[in-house]
Amino acid sequence: MEQTQLDEYYMRLALEEAMKAARIDEVPIGAVLVYEGEVIAKAHNRREHDQHTFSHAECVVIREGNAHVGSWRLEECTLYVTLEPCPMCAGALLQAGCQGWYSVHGTQRPVLRVLSTIFLMMNGLIIGVK
pLDDT score recorded for residue 4: 83
Q: Is-catalytic flag, 58? A: yes
Model pLDDT for residues 14-49, shown as the tens digit of each residue? 999 999 999 999 999 999 999 999 999 999 999 999
pLDDT score recorded for residue 72: 95
Angle, CA of 42, 45 and 48, to the nearest 5°: 145
Task: Report how far residue 81's alpha carbon sits from residue 103's, in angstroms, rounded to the nearest whole number.
Answer: 5
pLDDT score recorded for residue 1: 80
Task: Report how far residue 118's alpha carbon sits from residue 129's, in angstroms, rounded to the nearest whole number.
Answer: 10
Q: Which of 8, 26, 48, 58 is catalytic?
A: 58
Regions of the chain with pLDDT less than 50 = 106-107, 120, 125-130
| Strand locations in the chain (E) | 30-35, 38-44, 77-81, 100-102, 108-109
pTM (2 d.p.): 0.80
